[in-house]
């Protein structure tokens, strides 16, 4: 098999079809995960989710991990109005709750909060999140006098690993993965770093001055497409 022209490290699991898509462009992608998400399986959270499932409420998901953690604790399909991020988060919501349950989607938390705030009848939302959730969405909703009830349904653990292979680029999907990666690794200034969203990009910039290419869309496919486009145009 011919050696890849470009080698990329991706810090989150990818479907094999995305790896193969890059390979067709002579771009090799290795996957090494740097964080692990664990659902919160306590009686308190289970009771809360069950209580919410019987209520007609507005629910917010900004990550696939939150959707998965909530679904595994539901015995029925609730009659929720849902706002969620696009990409795989939206796909998971549609698979379980149905497309009709989605009131709005967005590519980042700030835009999602603005969409929620544009519905003047919404005065309260239940935000299913992780313990390291970002402040953007709740702060903006509070600014619009919308009550945010946060329910932590998953935890994020760093799983750092030492990388000895040299790469042309590294792909990050969250600030947590950035912290985990740089806790054990340094990189040459020539390595290009890809980040989902401005917050992840800003986190990268606290560790290095390398070039950062930002994807505004949360999906993995969009990120891989961006990396392919970047290197095929070089």
Give the DSSP H or E segment for 194. strand 192-196
- Whether residue 152 sits in one domain with residue 106: yes
Q: What is the DSSP letter of 144?
A: T
Provide the domain limits for residue 225: 6-34+159-232
pTM value is 0.85
Total structural domains in the chain?
A: 2
Question: Is residue 21, in this structure, part of any structural domain at all?
Answer: yes
Q: Are residues 143 and 45 in the same domain?
A: yes
Residue with tokens 């999140």: 129
Q: What is the CATH number of the domain that holds 54?
A: 3.40.50.10090
Domain end, chosen from 156, 177, 202, is at 156
Q: Please name which of 115, 107, 139 lies closest in space to residue 58, comparing C-alpha atoms.
A: 115
Residue 1 within any structural domain of the chain: no
Cβ distance 97 to 82 under 8 Å? yes
pLDDT values of the chain reduced to their tens digit, one per residue, 234 residues: 455 699 999 999 999 999 999 999 999 999 999 999 999 999 999 999 999 999 999 999 999 999 999 999 999 999 999 999 988 899 999 999 999 999 999 988 999 999 999 999 999 999 999 998 878 899 999 999 999 999 999 999 999 999 999 999 999 999 999 999 999 999 999 999 999 988 899 999 999 999 999 998 878 899 999 999 999 987
Which residues in 23-179 belong to E strands, given as ranges?
Answer: 27-31, 35-39, 58-61, 81-85, 102-106, 124-130, 147-158, 169-172
């Amino acid at each position: 098999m011919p050696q890849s022209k470009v080698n990329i490290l991706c810090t989150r699991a990818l479907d094999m079809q995305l790896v193969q898509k890059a390979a067709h462009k002579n771009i090799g992608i290795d996957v090494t995960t740097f964080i692990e998400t664990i659902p919160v399986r306590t009686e308190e959270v289970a009771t809360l989710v069950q209580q919410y499932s019987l209520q007609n409420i507005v629910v917010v998901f900004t990550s696939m991990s939150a959707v998965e953690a909530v679904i595994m604790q539901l015995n029925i399909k609730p009659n929720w109005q849902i706002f969620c991020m696009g990409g795989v988060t939206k796909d998971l919501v549609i698979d379980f709750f149905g497309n009709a349950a989605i009131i709005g989607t967005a590519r980042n938390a700030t835009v999602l909060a603005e969409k929620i705030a544009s519905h003047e009848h919404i005065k309260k939302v239940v935000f299913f999140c992780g313990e390291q959730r970002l402040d953007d969405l709740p702060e903006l909703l509070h600014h619009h006098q919308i009550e945010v009830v946060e329910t932590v349904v998953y935890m994020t653990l760093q799983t750092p690993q030492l990388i000895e292979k040299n790469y042309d680029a590294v792909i990050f999907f969250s600030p947590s993965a950035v912290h985990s990666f740089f806790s054990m690794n340094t990189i040459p200034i020539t390595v290009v770093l890809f980040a989902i969203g401005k917050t992840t990009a800003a986190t990268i910039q606290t560790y290095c001055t390398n070039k950062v290419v930002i994807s505004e869309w949360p999906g993995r496919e969009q990120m891989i497409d961006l990396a392919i486009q970047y290197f095929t145009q070089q």
